Structure 1
Amino acid sequence: MNCRSRRFLSWLRIGHTVWKPGIVHAKRRFGVFDMIICAKGTLYMEEIGVEYEVEQGMLLVLEPGKIHHGYRPTEDETEVYWIHFQYPLSPQLVEKNNWQQPLLKRTDQDTESHPAMIDIPKFAAVDLRTVVPILTDMLVLHSALTPYRSFELHNLFGQLLLQLQKGMRKSSPHARSYFLGEKVASYLANHLEQPFDSGEMERELHYHFDYLARCLKQYSGMSPLQYRHHLQIERAKRLLAHSELSLINIGEQCGFQDNNYFTRLFKRQSSYTPGEYRKQYQVFRVDSS
């Protein structure tokens, strides 16, 4: 079997150092992000006039194009991990004011990638128990780097970013509403075939429906019924494209007992009737000859 490889264009370097007392970080300006994680001691850093005491268990992300340097020497032995990284579209560090997770409009026939986002802190505490094992594995890969190991290195870096994002969400004042919104979304996804029942949702998730609806609105930008309809139509699209089930059967499997309502809602959200969508996107045909 012949295979072709593709180059992974993002850029990433990782290092680890232990500084003795009396060391001052050099003055530098990079064209990439510089993520510093302090595992021991305290590193004193300044970026364009703003001072940061990067203590044990703290993370600081220095931004491209901005001058940074140490503003006072280390007082104790200081252990630091650093990661220099850049992607084809470099991330922007902005103030985080919501955790909304809007659903993307998609089909399984899409040929272009969808936008992807992740949130990481500028300066924050991190859980060394979860991030240091990932950093250690990254260092091992980086010590004997090959094109294939480079891809593995980026995969580990993605895991690290997800851990940092998880930590931000847990420490956010909106943490409870975010996780409840996530629970409501999961509940709706697992109950598509049953009739919508706000009382049953209250009993299973142990919160008043109005509060659950507000949490989902903050999480997704949708009401529970809107979110449910979106999931129902997405499931219907997959069944229309990948099965020979009748339109009535598909509607029932997506939670619609009224086929006329299913057709109206499907057209409102997709601009097609279910039959038109099947003709346009079905990935196979059954030969009846």
Structure 2
Amino acid sequence: MERKDQVYFAAPPLPYYLESGETFHVHGDQHPSRKQLGVFDLILMESGQLFIGEEEQQWALTAGQTLLLLPDRYHYSIKPSEEPTHFYWVHFQALGEWQQQSDQEHASLSHDAHYQRFLTSPYSLHLQKKWTLPYPEQAFRLMRTLNKAGGERQSSAFWTQQQAFEELLRMMDLRQNESYTSPVVTLAEKTEAYLKNNYRSEITGKTLTDTLNFHYNYITRCMKQVYGMTPVEYLLKFRMEQAKLLLLKTEWPIAEIALHVGFENVPYFSNCFTNQIGLPPSKYRKRYTT
């Protein structure tokens, strides 16, 4: 049975476009073999068949399918094309963390490290290693836009290409396609949305169980897999972020801010804030305001 791997990208920052093109094969042509290319190579098949491998995996790609080749692997032709073949390709790079995992696993992205670097929790962009496009013509239209913009002035081509590439990523992101999204991700996202919308209220394990109709232990496992933290940890981090904004944007007393973000006990709020942020609320306000 063919492995169904996924590649996970932590964003921001989103992967960024480098170059693209299209290739036409006649009978006997084959894809070049390359090692340590240094960039991601996304192939989108419009017609024909392409025989290609990466390390120990091999594929026979057909019309409407995509394949994402990784920058640090050996890519090679399995055999020459047996019929006229047309495919698009796009090279891109990623500054953030990325991982490839099987469909039975979930990426263990470094949430804390990402937060320290980018001041926000990561969004995990999911791309299928090999995929059959649900709307191939839309993808091909985006690829033609990318390629056409290559002949324009850089000042206009840059934005056209980046926007078209991000739209292509959005279309291929499995988290944007409900039929491909795992139940684990779906429940974790529902939990996140509930926590964000109700962070000012008291939220307990029973609250989440009654609201989401799943046992709290299962909710916790899903949150840990997708966001790298339990619901309690996520709620605390989100409350602290809201408190930081209020400290900087308002002159509210610390006690009022504590109450606003869901804390009835002011000393407990101050302790949580100090442990999370590294400064007491009053000192944080003084450091970053004039």
- Normalised by the shorter chain, which TM-score bucket? 0.7 to 0.9
CA distance in 1 between partners of 2:57 and 2:222 (Å): 36
Equivalent position of 2:7 in the other structure: none
Amino acid paired to 1:98: H
Equivalent position of 2:22 in the other structure: 16
Amino acid paired to 1:210: N
Equivalent position of 1:159 in the other structure: 167
Q: Pick the aligned partner of 1:43 from 40, 50, 65.
A: 50
The answer as to 2:253 corresponding to 1:246 is yes
Contact 1:39 1:128 in 2 (8 A): no
Equivalent position of 1:183 in the other structure: 190
Identity of aligned residues (%): 24
Report the CA distance shift for 1:171/1:95 in structure 2 as closer, same or farther (over 3 A).
farther
CA distance in 2 between partners of 1:224 and 1:276 (Å): 28
Alignment length (residue pairs): 267
Deviations 1:202-260 (A, max 9, x none): 34323233322221122222221221111111110111122111111111110111212
CA distance in 1 between partners of 2:206 and 2:96 (Å): 45
Report the CA distance shift for 1:278/1:35 in structure 2 as closer, same or farther (over 3 A).
same
Unaligned runs of 5+ in 2: 1-15
Cα shift at 1:70: 5.6
Residue 184 of structure 2 aligns to a residue in which SS? helix
Cα shift at 1:150: 1.7
Report the CA distance shift for 1:84/1:266 in structure 2 as closer, same or farther (over 3 A).
closer
Amino acid paired to 1:139: N
The answer as to 2:147 corresponding to 1:139 is yes
Cα shift at 1:19: 4.3
TM-score, scaled to structure 1: 0.76
Query: How well do the aligned residues superpose, as a CA RMSD in angstroms?
Result: 3.5
Q: Pick the aligned partner of 1:85 from 89, 92, 116.
A: 92
CA distance in 2 between partners of 1:198 and 1:49 (Å): 45
Map 1:21-36 → 2, pairs under 5 A: 22-29=27-34, 31=37, 32-36=39-43
Report the CA distance shift for 1:125/1:275 in structure 2 as closer, same or farther (over 3 A).
same
The answer as to 2:204 corresponding to 1:204 is no
Map 1:198-237 → 2, pairs under 5 A: 198-237=205-244
Unaligned runs of 5+ in 1: 1-9, 285-289
TM-score, scaled to structure 2: 0.75
Report the CA distance shift for 1:193/1:232 in structure 2 as closer, same or farther (over 3 A).
same
Contact 1:44 1:74 in 2 (8 A): no
Report the CA distance shift for 1:116/1:182 in structure 2 as closer, same or farther (over 3 A).
closer
Report the CA distance shift for 1:62/1:198 in structure 2 as closer, same or farther (over 3 A).
closer
- Flag the structure with more relative contact order, 1 or 2, with Cα contacts below 8 A and sequence separation at least 6: 2
Equivalent position of 2:77 in the other structure: 69
Amino acid paired to 2:162: H
